[in-house]
């Protein structure tokens, strides 16, 4: 394949659902809770042998640039780009692709995230490499669709309708539509029918393909794209453009802005043990579990307690007696206690905290 492949890792999220361990100063992607290394470091390491580090970019928030550089020292400092304010993934994708096009017109860009877990790294690398081949040789946007293992209601779904012929080991299919997060009955129907995949938020495209999509569906982002491509790299002019345009941009995901309107989408059938670890409840699948089914981190002990998630992160002790299905997290003078089935609502809880404290 003659075209160069770049990775863009989205690492600007605040990880609020992992409060109090995840904070604005050190959010989820910088936690070492899973596997002893930060999720960001794992995201970079997964690309080894597929994309050289000099072609790995990270998009984060401006106040996390220095932390990102220190936690991912293998990356070139100029490849860590800070957004002045969060405007969701559409703006971040446009920014990243413009910076890649300026270096390498019509390069292949792999949009990835810094807060996911993949158990089978070899399979991930193979799938990503095959997706890059398809994106390099066809005018399509490729997404990695995860083969669902349960009727999950916390993920969006991708509906595939027919085979897309590609000279790769990974099967590709044409995308009919992106589907919102379903209720349980609908998710069960998706699994029974087949042809549905979890939307993992990973996309691969050539910069020219993305540029045309932006021009067609989001002219404001396309205007920023053009100005950034024309600006000298790493200059005050580049930063001025970003700071000027970003605050006025709509907060919208690339799924809504581009994917749901595009007809040139294909999905790679992906099966590499993916999980976005979106809540404390799902984190239990990746933490040490005791014989009573409790996920325990730190100085924790239990009696007649089952199916709990307990994290004592600052050297304190946490004890559970006769309870089931709780999340208990203690960190730096802050303690969270909630039921596992309400863990997805922690962001709402933090809104209450902002009003009261």
Domains and CATH numbers, the chain: 5-275 (3.90.550.10), 280-356 (no CATH)
In this prediction, residues 138-153 reach a mean pLDDT of 96
Give the pairing type, strands 265-270 and 172-179. Answer: antiparallel
Per-residue pLDDT averaged across 160-169, rounded? 93
Cα angle at 257 between 105 and 39, to 5 degrees? 75
In degrees, to the nearest 5, what angle opens at C-alpha 71 toward C-alphas 96 and 103?
25
Q: Which residues contact 102 (CB under 8 A, 6 or more apart)?
A: 228, 229, 231, 233
Average pLDDT over residues 301-315: 94
Segment 51-67, tens digit of pLDDT: 999 999 999 999 999 99
Q: Which of 123, 122, 21, 206 is nearest to 29 (CA)?
A: 21
Radius of gyration of the chain from its Cα atoms, rounded to whole angstroms: 21
Sequence-distant (≥ 6) Cβ neighbours of residue 157 within 8 angstroms: 148, 178, 179, 182, 187, 190, 196, 197, 198, 199
What is the model's pLDDT at position 290? 93
Q: How confident is the model over 214-229, as pLDDT tens digits? A: 999 999 999 999 999 9
Q: Could you read off the pLDDT of 274-297 as tens digits, one per residue?
A: 998 889 988 888 999 999 999 999
Whether the per-residue pLDDT at 22 is higher than 60: the answer is yes
How does residue 357 score in pLDDT terms, banded at 50, 70 and 90?
confident
Q: Give alpha helix (H) positions in 181-285.
A: 184-193, 207-217, 219-230, 236-245, 254-257, 280-283
Which pLDDT tens digit goes with each residue over 254-274? 999 999 999 999 999 999 999
Evaluate if residue 236 carries a pLDDT over 90: no
Task: Give yes or no for a cis peptide into 113 (omega within 30° of 0).
Answer: no
Rounded CA separation 261/90 (Å): 13
pTM over 0.75: yes
């Amino acid at each position: 394949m003659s075209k160069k492949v770049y990775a863009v890792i989205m690492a600007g999220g605040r990880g609020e659902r992992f409060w109090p361990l995840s904070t604005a100063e050190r959010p989820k992607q910088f936690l070492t809770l899973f596997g002893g290394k930060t999720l960001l470091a794992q995201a970079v390491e997964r690309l080894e042998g597929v994309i050289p580090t000099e072609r790995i970019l990270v998009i984060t928030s401006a106040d996390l640039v220095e932390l990102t550089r220190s936690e991912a020292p293998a990356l070139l400092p100029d490849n860590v780009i800070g957004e002045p304010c969060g405007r969701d993934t559409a703006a971040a994708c446009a920014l990243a692709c413009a910076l890649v096009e300026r270096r390498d017109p019509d390069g292949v860009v792999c949009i990835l995230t810094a807060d996911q877990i993949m158990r089978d790294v070899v399979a991930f690398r193979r799938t990503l490499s095959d997706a890059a081949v398809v994106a390099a040789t066809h005018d399509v946007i490729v997404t990695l669709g995860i083969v669902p293992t349960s009727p999950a209601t916390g993920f969006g779904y991708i509906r595939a309708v027919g085979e897309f012929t590609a000279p790769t080991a990974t099967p590709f299919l044409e995308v009919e539509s992106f589907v919102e997060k379903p209720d349980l009955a609908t998710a069960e129907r998706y699994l029974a029918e087949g042809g549905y995949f979890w939307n993992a938020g990973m996309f691969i495209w050539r910069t020219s393909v993305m540029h045309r999509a932006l021009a067609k569906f989001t002219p404001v982002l396309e205007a920023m794209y053009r100005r950034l491509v024309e600006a000298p790299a790493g200059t005050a002019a580049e930063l001025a453009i970003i700071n000027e345009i970003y605050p006025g941009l709509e907060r919208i995901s690339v799924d809504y802005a581009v994917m749901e309107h595009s007809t040139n989408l294909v999905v790679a059938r992906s099966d590499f043990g993916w999980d976005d670890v979106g809540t404390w409840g799902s984190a239990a699948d990746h933490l040490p579990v005791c014989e009573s089914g409790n996920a325990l981190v730190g100085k924790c002990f239990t009696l007649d307690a089952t199916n709990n998630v307990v994290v004592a992160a600052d050297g304190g002790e946490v004890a559970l007696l006769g309870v089931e299905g709780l999340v208990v997290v203690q960190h730096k003078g802050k303690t969270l206690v909630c039921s596992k089935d309400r863990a997805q609502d922690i962001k709402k809880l933090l809104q209450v905290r902002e009003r009261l404290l």
